[in-house]
Structure 1
Amino acid sequence: MIAETVCSAVSAAGLGIAAVTAYRKRFLAAARIAAYSLVPVGLVMTGIVGWLADTAFSPTAWAGFGLLGAAWLLFATTRAVERRSGGTRKERKAAKAAQREAAAPSASTASAPALGAGGHPAVRPTATPRAADSKDDFSDIEAILKKHGI
């Protein structure tokens, strides 16, 4: 009841200001002020003001707003922690597995005989320098970009 009375008084005051503004030959500004002053009465007539007043003085509603705030805070915190730690648990496990696989040779490579024919150590061919192709120059860069999805 009080909220409706306050809204009506604000609207009446706004219409009075609009009338004074129109008397000063500023009709565009007066029309704008009148439009703003009619909004509170419109809200009272639609029932929104009563609903807001009931919500503002309801402990249950405030508890609900508190729970919504806590949920939002949890979402924001978990997102921040996830970004700082470098992703989800599955992504970290996949990255560790890839590092282990790159560091340790696979079982087929590790079990290859180290001795050549006749029991002598296998002679490895010497590494030949790669030809300086423009294709080879950018192959590592392309691999890195593909790995990151770029």
Structure 2
Amino acid sequence: MIAETVCSAVAAAGLGIAAITAYRKRFLAAARIAAYALVPLGLVMTGAVEWVADTAFSPVAWAGFGVLGVAWGLLATTRAVERRRRGGTRKERKAAARTAQPDAVAPGVSAPSLGQGSRPASRPAATPRETAADDFSDIEAILKKHGI
């Protein structure tokens, strides 16, 4: 009874604030305030407030919440222990399986080295000044081509 009265008073106050806001020509804000103000009134009319009030003051309901909490705690604990035994979460195990490399065909053989033989030795290395001059000559050629 008290909860319904409080919700109805909150709805009435909210509608009054919405009317003042609409008087100030802020219609969008007034409509939003009115919508929020009508929520408690709708909850009273549907009986949800009575159900919540009965649940809040019921020792059986609180015992039920306690049982649900114990069940959740047991589930969380068993999942954590299971994860620890397996060595990580399912995602972690899948990622480890993907990155695991298969055994080599000949484990005693070393990988080939990439030494100086892979780079062509026909052209000597250019000095930094020659490289800069080549870059500018290309740019000059492009500018001349476009008439600049």
Distance in 2, Cα, partners of 1:139 & 1:34: 66
Cα offset, 1:139, TM superposition? 4.9
Distance in 2, Cα, partners of 1:73 & 1:25: 53
Cα offset, 1:7, TM superposition? 0.2
Deviations 1:128-147 (A, max 9, x none): xxxxxxxxxx7527xxxxxx
Aligned counterpart, 1:90: none
Instruction: State yes or no: 1:10 paired with 2:24.
Output: no
Identity across the alignment (%):
81
**Which amino acid in 2 is paired with 1:62?**
W
Deviations 1:51-105 (A, max 9, x none): 0000000000000000000000000011001111227xxxxxxxxxxxxxxxxxx
SS of 2:49's partner is helix
Aligned counterpart, 2:28: 28
SS of 1:140's partner is coil
Distance in 2, Cα, partners of 1:53 & 1:140: 66
- Cα gap change, 1:139/1:56 in structure 2, threshold over 3 Å: closer, same or farther? closer
Stretches (4+) displaced over 4 A: none
Aligned counterpart, 1:140: 103
**Which amino acid in 2 is paired with 1:2?**
I
Aligned counterpart, 1:58: 58
**Which amino acid in 1 is paired with 2:11?**
S
**Which amino acid in 1 is paired with 2:17?**
I
Distance in 2, Cα, partners of 1:25 & 1:81: 61
Q: What is the number of equivalent residue pairs in this alignment?
A: 91
TM-score, normalised with respect to structure 1? 0.58
TM-score, normalised with respect to structure 2? 0.59
**Which amino acid in 2 is paired with 1:15?**
L
Aligned counterpart, 1:42: 42
Structure 1 runs not aligned, ≥5 long: 88-137, 142-150
Distance in 1, Cα, partners of 2:50 & 2:23: 35
Deviations 1:30-56 (A, max 9, x none): 001001100101110100000000000
**Which amino acid in 1 is paired with 2:103?**
D
SS of 2:103's partner is helix
